[in-house]
Chains A and B, each alone.
Chain A
Amino acid sequence: MSLPHSFDAEDASERPKVLLVDDDDLALMLTAEALRGRGFDITEASSGEQALAMLTEWTPDIIVLDAMMPGLDGFDTCRELRESPGFENMPVLMLTGLDDEVSINRAYQVGATDFFVKSTQWSLLAGRLRHVLRSARTRQELERSKSKLARAQDLARMGSFDWRKPGSGSHHPTGGLTLALEALRVFGYTAQDRVSMRRLVRMVPLPERSGMTRVLAEVQSKNTVLAIDVPVNLPDGRMRIVHVEAEPEFNEHGHGIGYTGIVQDVTDRRVAEDRIRHLANFDALTGLPNRRQLMWRTERALDHARRLGHLAALLLIDLDRFKVINDTLGHAAGDELLVEVARRLRACVRHSDQVMDTALESASGRSHRTLEAVGRLGGDEFVALLPEVADEADAERVSTRILTAMRDPIFVGGQECFVTASVGIAMYPRDGMSVADLIRNSDVAMYSVKDAGRNASAIYSPMLAGHGRKKLELESALHKAIERDELVLHYQPKIDVRSARMVGVEALMRWQRGDVLVPPGDFIQLAEDTGLIVPMSDWLLREAARQVKEWQVNFGFADSIAVNLPNRMFERSDLVEKIHECVSAHGVPHRSIQLEITETGLMKDLQNVIPSLHRLTEIGVEISIDDFGTGYSSLAYLTTLPISELKIDIQFVRDLGITPQSSAVVTAIIALARSLGLRVIAEGVENLRQMEVLHRLGCGVMQGFLFSRALPPDELELWLKQTVLPRKAPWIVQAGADRPEPLGSSGGRRL
Chain B
Amino acid sequence: MTTPFTLPPGPQASTGGTPPARATGVVLDADALANLAQLDPTGANRLVRRVLITYRSSMARLLDQLAQARVQPDPASQRLVAHTLKSSSASVGALLLSQLCGEAEKALREGQVDAVPALLDQLVAEAARVDAAVVQLLADE
A residues lining the B interface (CB < 8 Å): 1-2, 23-27, 29-30, 33-34, 37, 68, 70, 97-99, 117-122
| Residues from chain A with Cβ under 8 Å of B40 in the complex | 33
| Residues from chain A with Cβ under 8 Å of B80 in the complex | 68, 70
> Contacts A98-B4, A99-B4, A99-B106 given: A33-B39 contact, CB under 8 Å?
yes
Bound CA span A33–B41, Å? 12
Asked whether B91 lies within 8 Å of A117 as measured between CB atoms, the reply is: no
Asked whether B5 lies within 8 Å of A120 as measured between CB atoms, the reply is: yes
Size bin of chain B's contact surface = 20 to 34
Determine how close the nearest CB of chain B comes to the CB of A424; give it in whole angstroms: 106
Bound CA span A37–B39, Å? 8
Residue from A23, A33, A120, A121 having most chain B Cβ neighbours under 10 A: A120
Bound CA span A30–B88, Å? 9
How does the 8 Å CB contact mask read for B56-96 relative to A, with 1 for contact and 0 for none?
00100000000000000000010010011001101110000
Asked whether A23 lies within 8 Å of B84 as measured between CB atoms, the reply is: yes
Partner of A120 from B45, B47, B58, B90 at Cβ < 8 Å: B90
> Contacts A34-B39, A119-B4 given: A26-B51 contact, CB under 8 Å?
yes
Chain A residue with minimal CB distance to B106? A99
| Residues from chain A with Cβ under 8 Å of B4 in the complex | 97-99, 117-119
| Residues from chain B with Cβ under 8 Å of A29 in the complex | 50-51, 54
Residue from A1, A24, A26, A122 having most chain B Cβ neighbours under 10 A: A26
- A-B contacts, 23 of them at CB < 8 A, read A1-B38, A2-B41, A24-B84, A26-B54, A26-B55, A26-B58, A26-B91, A27-B84, A27-B88, A27-B91, A29-B51, A30-B39, A34-B39, A68-B80, A68-B83, A98-B4, A99-B4, A99-B102, A117-B4, A119-B5, A120-B6, A120-B7, A120-B90
Asked whether B87 lies within 8 Å of A118 as measured between CB atoms, the reply is: yes
| Residues from chain B with Cβ under 8 Å of A24 in the complex | 58, 84, 87-88
Determine how close the nearest CB of chain A comes to the CB of B119; give it in whole angstroms: 16
Q: Is B35 an interface residue (CB 8 A)?
A: yes
Determine how close the nearest CB of chain A comes to the CB of B23; give it in whole angstroms: 21
Bound CA span A33–B47, Å? 9
Chain A residue with minimal CB distance to B61? A25
Chain A residue with minimal CB distance to B62? A24
Binding site secondary structure of chain B: helix
Asked whether A119 lies within 8 Å of B7 as measured between CB atoms, the reply is: yes
> Contacts A1-B38, A33-B40, A70-B80 given: A26-B88 contact, CB under 8 Å?
yes
Bound CA span A375–B50, Å? 101
| Residues from chain A with Cβ under 8 Å of B35 in the complex | 120
| Residues from chain B with Cβ under 8 Å of A120 in the complex | 5-7, 32, 35, 90-91
| Residues from chain A with Cβ under 8 Å of B55 in the complex | 26
Determine how close the nearest CB of chain A comes to the CB of B122; give it in whole angstroms: 19
Chain B residue with minimal CB distance to A67? B83
Binding site secondary structure of chain A: loop
Bound CA span A121–B32, Å? 11
| Residues from chain A with Cβ under 8 Å of B45 in the complex | 33
Determine how close the nearest CB of chain B comes to the CB of A37; give it in whole angstroms: 7
Determine how close the nearest CB of chain A comes to the CB of B105; give it in whole angstroms: 8
| Residues from chain A with Cβ under 8 Å of B90 in the complex | 120
> Contacts A1-B38, A99-B4 given: A27-B47 contact, CB under 8 Å?
no
Bound CA span A97–B39, Å? 22
Residue from A2, A70, A122 having most chain B Cβ neighbours under 10 A: A70
| Residues from chain A with Cβ under 8 Å of B6 in the complex | 120
Partner of A25 from B58, B77, B92 at Cβ < 8 Å: B58
Q: Is B124 an interface residue (CB 8 A)?
A: no
Bound CA span A29–B83, Å? 17
Determine how close the nearest CB of chain A comes to the CB of B93; give it in whole angstroms: 10
Asked whether B87 lies within 8 Å of A27 as measured between CB atoms, the reply is: yes
Determine how close the nearest CB of chain B comes to the CB of A34; give it in whole angstroms: 6
Determine how close the nearest CB of chain A comes to the CB of B11; give it in whole angstroms: 18
| Residues from chain B with Cβ under 8 Å of A27 in the complex | 84, 87-88, 91
Chain B residue with minimal CB distance to A3? B41
How does the 8 Å CB contact mask read for B100-140 relative to A, with 1 for contact and 0 for none?
00100010000000000000000000000000000000000
Q: Is B36 an interface residue (CB 8 A)?
A: yes
Chain A residue with minimal CB distance to B77? A70
| Residues from chain B with Cβ under 8 Å of A68 in the complex | 80, 83-84
| Residues from chain B with Cβ under 8 Å of A97 in the complex | 4, 83
Chain A residue with minimal CB distance to B86? A97
Bound CA span A34–B47, Å? 11
Starting from the known contacts A27-B84, A27-B91, A29-B54, 7 additional A-B residue pairs (CB-CB under 8 Å) come to A24-B87, A30-B39, A37-B39, A68-B83, A99-B102, A119-B7, A120-B32
Bound CA span A119–B4, Å? 7
Bound CA span A30–B55, Å? 11
Bound CA span A122–B91, Å? 12
Bound CA span A26–B52, Å? 9
| Residues from chain B with Cβ under 8 Å of A99 in the complex | 4, 102, 106
Bound CA span A517–B84, Å? 134
Bound CA span A118–B102, Å? 13
Determine how close the nearest CB of chain A comes to the CB of B30; give it in whole angstroms: 14
List B27-53 residues whose CB lies under 8 Å from chain A: 32, 35-36, 38-41, 45, 47, 50-51
Chain A residue with minimal CB distance to B38? A1
Determine how close the nearest CB of chain A comes to the CB of B61; give it in whole angstroms: 9
Asked whether A30 lies within 8 Å of B84 as measured between CB atoms, the reply is: no
| Residues from chain A with Cβ under 8 Å of B36 in the complex | 30
Bound CA span A68–B45, Å? 29
Chain B residue with minimal CB distance to A95? B87
Determine how close the nearest CB of chain A comes to the CB of B68; give it in whole angstroms: 13
| Residues from chain B with Cβ under 8 Å of A118 in the complex | 4-5, 87
Q: 8 tightest A-B contacts by CB?
A: A26-B88, A98-B4, A24-B84, A33-B39, A26-B54, A68-B83, A26-B55, A25-B58
Chain A residue with minimal CB distance to B105? A97
Bound CA span A25–B60, Å? 13
Partner of A121 from B7, B41, B47, B102 at Cβ < 8 Å: B7
| Residues from chain B with Cβ under 8 Å of A121 in the complex | 7
Bound CA span A119–B3, Å? 10
| Residues from chain A with Cβ under 8 Å of B47 in the complex | 33
| Residues from chain A with Cβ under 8 Å of B54 in the complex | 25-26, 29
Determine how close the nearest CB of chain A comes to the CB of B55; give it in whole angstroms: 5
Bound CA span A117–B32, Å? 18
Determine how close the nearest CB of chain B comes to the CB of A333; give it in whole angstroms: 100
Chain B residue with minimal CB distance to A98? B4
| Residues from chain B with Cβ under 8 Å of A1 in the complex | 38-39
Bound CA span A45–B74, Å? 26
Determine how close the nearest CB of chain B comes to the CB of A513; give it in whole angstroms: 119
How does the 8 Å CB contact mask read for B2-34 relative to A, with 1 for contact and 0 for none?
001111000000000000000000000000100
Bound CA span A630–B50, Å? 131
Bound CA span A29–B47, Å? 9
Bound CA span A37–B40, Å? 9
